[in-house]
Amino acid sequence: DTEVTQTPKHLVMGMTNKKSLKCEQHMGHRAMYWYKQKAKKPPELMFVYSYEKLSINESVPSRFSPECPNSSLLNLHLHALQPEDSALYLCASSQRAGGDYGYTFGSGTRLTVV
């Protein structure tokens, strides 16, 4: 299995809703990442998990809350989002944390906040 699976593929949520994005990999990778990508822009790093521990938070607003229940799963909990948070949210994994290893990206969740 060489995939990173993200669910849901599309999500529309209101500004008062609470929702979660899910990411799963079974490649034995010990680093997992959340990225946000706006149209015609490169991916922006949000969070890095290394061995299930949060190692980087790129000053992301608290309305985004990551969780890593085990080495295969990564969640992103969303609450009280703003319309400007609408974007493609990408999960990625790599063998170990660190840019020496290429990332495998999931197919992403297209989020629209209304």
The residues of the shown chain that bind another protein, judged by CB under 8 A, are 31, 33, 41-43, 45, 48, 50, 55-56, 88, 90, 97-108
User: Smallest distance, Å, CB 55 to another protein?
Assistant: 6
Whichever of 8 and 98 has its CB closer to another protein, that residue is: 98
User: Smallest distance, Å, CB 80 to another protein?
Assistant: 26
User: Smallest distance, Å, CB 54 to another protein?
Assistant: 11
Contact 81, 113 (CB under 8 A): yes
User: Smallest distance, Å, CB 35 to another protein?
Assistant: 9
Whichever of 31 and 113 has its CB closer to another protein, that residue is: 31
Q: Give me the amino acid identity at 30.
A: R
Q: Which residues contact 90 (CB under 8 A, 6 or more apart)?
A: 6, 34, 35, 36, 37, 43, 105, 106, 108
Whichever of 73 and 105 has its CB closer to another protein, that residue is: 105
Whichever of 30 and 79 has its CB closer to another protein, that residue is: 30
Query: Using omega within 30 degrees of 0 as the cis cutoff, is the peptide bond preceding 66 cis?
Result: no
